[in-house]
């Protein structure tokens, strides 16, 4: 290339270089702005999502989360919100998929195991629920909900001693939660601790806002544990308050029948005629 050609091209190269530099600079600035907008938008979106969830607007929550997760596919907090929203809407298959996705992304995420455990418990798959909840409690041993549900689950799998352990730990975290005393009473009853059973059920009735519901539930638990005379007292107290309480009527008949009182069958037949499924299932025992 001759000297004249170089003199002509040099300014052109300089101009092109300046142009390319300017374009790249603008591109970098644009990318930076987009990233900042996305980060700001993410923060804003999660605040809105949390508010929608708290307001029980679960369908709107899911719509927002779907848009958010399109750009943030590994956001386990967002996946957790969506799983909970699916649960509230009864979309259990979708909820389980999200919980499993969370576990794949973050194997130490205790609430995902707890969420799966709750679903399995509600589906009466107690052994699988127990495994999931045990994993959850090893990751978060101070979560009331996990401890409480695990204790209840282990009642169903017959592990009464460890169920008592987890329920007592849960009670330490939330001593004012009355219903926990109901399950403690059941655990102690199955272990043969008569005095402990009475104390736990008495505490449950004290905390239960509807006294008659407390008395009926206590009677039912005592009946299941084999303390029929105590259960009978509760069913009679409920019937004194509400003579048409069908299930108290049926279970009073069951208790009387079991302890050899002939009037038990009269109560069973009366409750069966009024539509108690439990009483109808017992009619054959009365001939």
CATH number at residue 133: 1.25.40.10
User: Same structural domain for residues 79 and 112?
Assistant: no
pLDDT of 42-77, one tens digit each?
445 778 888 878 888 889 888 888 888 888 889 999
Contact criterion met (CB below 8 Å) for 146 and 166 = no
Q: Is residue 58 part of a domain?
A: yes
Q: How far is CA 203 from CA 185, 229, 252, in A?
A: 9, 19, 23
User: Same structural domain for residues 157 and 112?
Assistant: yes
The mean pLDDT value of the chain amounts to 85
How much is the average pLDDT of 121-128? Answer: 97
Helix (H), strand (E) at residue 201: helix 194-207
Q: Is residue 57 part of a domain?
A: yes
Report the candidate in 102, 112, 186 with the shortest Cα–Cα distance to residue 143. 112
User: Same structural domain for residues 133 and 167?
Assistant: yes
Handedness of CA 23, 27, 33, 34 (dihedral sign): positive
pLDDT of residue 37 exceeding 50 = no
Contact criterion met (CB below 8 Å) for 78 and 53 = no
Q: What pLDDT is attached to residue 210?
A: 80
pLDDT of residue 16 exceeding 50 = no
Contact criterion met (CB below 8 Å) for 164 and 184 = yes
How much is the average pLDDT of 195-200? Answer: 88
User: Same structural domain for residues 86 and 129?
Assistant: no
Q: What pLDDT is attached to residue 25?
A: 47
Which of residues 148, 175, 202 is at a domain's end? 175
Residue 248's CB is within 10 A of a number of other CB atoms, namely 27
Which of residues 95, 118, 137 is at a domain's end? 95
How much is the average pLDDT of 236-264? Answer: 93
Contact criterion met (CB below 8 Å) for 209 and 185 = no
Q: Is residue 70 part of a domain?
A: yes
Going by pLDDT thresholds of 50, 70 and 90, the confidence category of residue 250 is: very high
Q: What pLDDT is attached to residue 38?
A: 47
Q: Is residue 64 part of a domain?
A: yes
How much is the average pLDDT of 159-165? Answer: 97
User: Same structural domain for residues 83 and 120?
Assistant: no
Please count the structural domains in the chain.
2
Q: Is residue 187 part of a domain?
A: no
Enclosing domain of residue 165: 108-175
Q: Is residue 123 part of a domain?
A: yes
């Amino acid at each position: 290339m001759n000297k004249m050609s170089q003199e002509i091209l040099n300014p052109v190269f300089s101009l092109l270089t300046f142009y390319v530099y300017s374009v790249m600079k603008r591109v970098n600035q644009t990318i930076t702005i987009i990233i900042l907008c996305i980060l700001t938008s993410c923060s804003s979106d999660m605040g809105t999502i949390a508010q929608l969830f708290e307001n029980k607007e679960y369908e709107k929550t899911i719509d927002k989360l779907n848009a958010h997760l399109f750009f943030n596919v590994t956001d386990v907090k967002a996946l957790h919100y969506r799983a909970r929203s699916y649960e509230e809407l009864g979309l259990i298959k979708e909820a389980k998929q999200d919980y499993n996705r969370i576990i794949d992304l973050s194997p130490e995420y205790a609430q995902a195991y707890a969420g799966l455990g709750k679903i399995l418990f509600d589906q009466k798959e107690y052994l699988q629920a127990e495994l999931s909840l045990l994993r959850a409690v090893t990751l978060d041993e101070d979560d009331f909900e996990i401890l409480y549900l695990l204790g209840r689950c282990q009642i169903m799998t017959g592990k009464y001693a460890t169920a008592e352990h987890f329920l007592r730990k849960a009670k330490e975290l939330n001593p004012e939660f009355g219903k926990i005393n109901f399950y403690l009473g059941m655990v102690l009853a199955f272990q043969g601790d008569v005095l402990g059973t009475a104390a736990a059920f008495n505490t449950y009735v004290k905390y239960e806002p509807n006294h008659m519901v407390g008395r009926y539930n206590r009677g039912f638990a005592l009946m299941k544990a084999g303390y029929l005379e105590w259960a009978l007292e509760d069913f009679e107290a409920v019937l004194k308050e509400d003579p048409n309480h069908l299930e108290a009527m049926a279970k009073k008949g069951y208790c009387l029948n079991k302890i050899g009182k002939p009037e038990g069958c009269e109560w069973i037949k009366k409750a069966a005629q009024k539509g108690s499924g439990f009483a109808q299932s017992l009619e054959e025992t009365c001939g």
